[in-house]
Amino acid sequence: MAIDSSLPLAVTRLVKLLSMSLSKKLPLRAIFKVWRELGLPDNFEDSVISSNSDIFLLQDGNEPNTHFLVLNDGEAFKDCLIPAVENWRVVECCKEDCSVDRTDLKYSFKVGVSTEDAIKEELQGK
């Protein structure tokens, strides 16, 4: 039951991963190496790839025993491919008390990294 509910999330993760590639394809052996880190089920080749043949395609490679996972149609997942920073910009621009210029906001992004001084203070405290 829990595995079935996570299948749409697994499909979305694979679509995002394949969308990062210019050719929209990746070697299947590379995905096998990181399938646990991606949160894919044990039988992802059958449960995710084969059952979503309208989205994914397995293509034979040039060498024996090599296959590529190809993104057939990523248009259905266009909304999930928007970076989180873009959603943040929309929220920030819509605030009434926004003091930042829209142009600055367009070309900036939120960073959650400590400043150099904060890091020095933290290290000196230890």
Q: State pLDDT tens for residues 31-87.
A: 989 988 888 888 888 888 888 888 888 888 888 888 999 998 767 777 777 777 777
**φ/ψ (deg, to 5) at 8:** -60, -35
pLDDT of the residue at 4 = 61
State the Cα–Cα distance between residues 53 and 13, nearest whole angstrom.
Answer: 16
Across the chain, what does the average pLDDT equal? 79
Q: What is the pLDDT of residue 1?
A: 43
Q: Alpha-carbon distance 11 to 77, whole Å?
A: 10
The tally of CA atoms less than 13 A away on the side-chain side of residue 31 is 28
Full-model pTM: 0.63
The percent of residues in the chain predicted with pLDDT above 90, rounded, is: 7
Give the SS3 label for residue 71. Answer: strand
- Kindly report which listed range (27-31, 109-113, 116-120) carries the lowest average pLDDT score: 109-113
- The pLDDT assigned to 69 comes to 92
Report residue 26's pLDDT band, with 50, 70 and 90 as the boundaries.
Answer: very high
pLDDT at 120 (0 to 100) = 75
| Confidence grade of residue 114 (pLDDT, cut at 50, 70, 90) | low
